[in-house]
Amino acid sequence: MLTTLHATATLLLALSASASAQDAEPSVTIGHRGLHGYIGSHAGSTPREFRYGAGFYASVWSLIERPIRGFQIGLPSTWLTPDNSDNTTEPLCPVGTIARDNWPERGPTYGSVFQTVEGGLGYWAGNRFHYGPPKFSMNATPNCYSTEVASPGWPFFHSSEPLPDDMLGIAQLSNRLLIPPDGLTFQGTPKGELLGYAYMALPLTDARDDPQPTGTHSWTLFLDAANFKGPLAYYLPECWSRISRDYPFDHGRCLDSRPASGPVAGSMEINTVPEFLAKDADGTLYTRIPQLQFPVDDTGRTVLVRDVVMYSKDALWNDVLAWRRGGDAPTGAFKVDGMARPEIRTGSVTYRQNKKKITGINELATPTVFDGNVFGLTWGDDVVVEDGMAKFPTFFRDAGETRESITAADVPAKTTLRDRAFPGPRTSPPPYTAEPLSGSWATPGPAAGPFETMLLDGSTVRYCWYRFIDQPVFQQFQWSQKTREDLQALIVKMHAAWSIDGTYLPGSEGELASFDPALFVTPPKGMEHGYVPIVTWQGITPQ
Predicted pLDDT of residue 317: 98
Convert the pLDDT of each residue in 227-251 to its tens digit.
999 999 999 999 999 999 999 999 9
Convert the pLDDT of each residue in 313-331 to its tens digit.
999 999 999 999 999 999 9
User: How buried is residue 18: exposed, middle or buried, by Cβ count under 10 Å (0-12/13-18/19+)?
Assistant: exposed
Rounded to an integer, the average pLDDT of 238-267 is: 94
pLDDT at 18 over 60: no
Strand pairing report for 356-359 and 402-406: parallel
pLDDT at 264 over 90: no
| Residue that wins the pLDDT comparison between 223 and 263 | 223
Q: What is the dihedral of CA 476, 167, 235, 309, to 10 degrees?
A: 170
Convert the pLDDT of each residue in 165-182 to its tens digit.
999 999 999 999 999 999
Predicted pLDDT of residue 512: 98
Picking from 374, 519, 331, 426, the residue whose alpha carbon sits closest to that of residue 67 is 426
pTM of the model: 0.93
Q: Is 267:40 a contact under the CB 8 Å cutoff?
A: yes
Picking from 346, 390, 342, the residue whose alpha carbon sits closest to that of residue 368 is 346
Mean pLDDT over each residue of the chain, to the nearest integer: 93
What is residue 520's DSSP assignment? B
Predicted pLDDT of residue 111: 97
User: How buried is residue 382: exposed, middle or buried, by Cβ count under 10 Å (0-12/13-18/19+)?
Assistant: exposed
Q: Is 193:510 a contact under the CB 8 Å cutoff?
A: yes
Those residues with Cβ within 8 angstroms of residue 62's Cβ, 6 or more apart along the chain or in another chain: 132, 133, 134, 189, 190, 191, 293
Domain positions in the chain:
40-201+217-268+307-313+431-539
Rounded to an integer, the average pLDDT of 388-405 is: 96
pLDDT at 338 over 90: yes
Question: What are the DSSP E strand ranges found in 10-62?
Answer: 29-31, 37-43, 53-61
Instruction: Indicate the pLDDT class of residue 26, thresholds 50, 70 and 90.
Output: low
pLDDT at 22 over 80: no
Picking from 191, 248, 194, 230, the residue whose alpha carbon sits closest to that of residue 333 is 230
Convert the pLDDT of each residue in 35-53 to its tens digit.
999 999 989 889 999 999 9
**Cα 92 to Cα 97, 109, 340, 462, distances in angstroms:** 10, 6, 29, 39
Which amino acid is it at 92? L
pLDDT at 13 over 90: no
Q: Is 269:120 a contact under the CB 8 Å cutoff?
A: no
What is residue 48's DSSP assignment? G
Picking from 472, 416, 465, 360, the residue whose alpha carbon sits closest to that of residue 24 is 416
Predicted pLDDT of residue 468: 98
Predicted pLDDT of residue 21: 36
Q: Is 80:116 a contact under the CB 8 Å cutoff?
A: yes
- The mean-pLDDT minimum among 249-258, 264-273, 476-485 falls in 264-273
The percentage of residues in the chain with a pLDDT greater than 70, rounded to a whole number, is 95
pLDDT at 63 over 70: yes
| Residue that wins the pLDDT comparison between 12 and 488 | 488
pLDDT at 202 over 80: yes
Instruction: Indicate the pLDDT class of residue 509, thresholds 50, 70 and 90.
Output: very high
Predicted pLDDT of residue 262: 79
Q: Is 461:180 a contact under the CB 8 Å cutoff?
A: yes
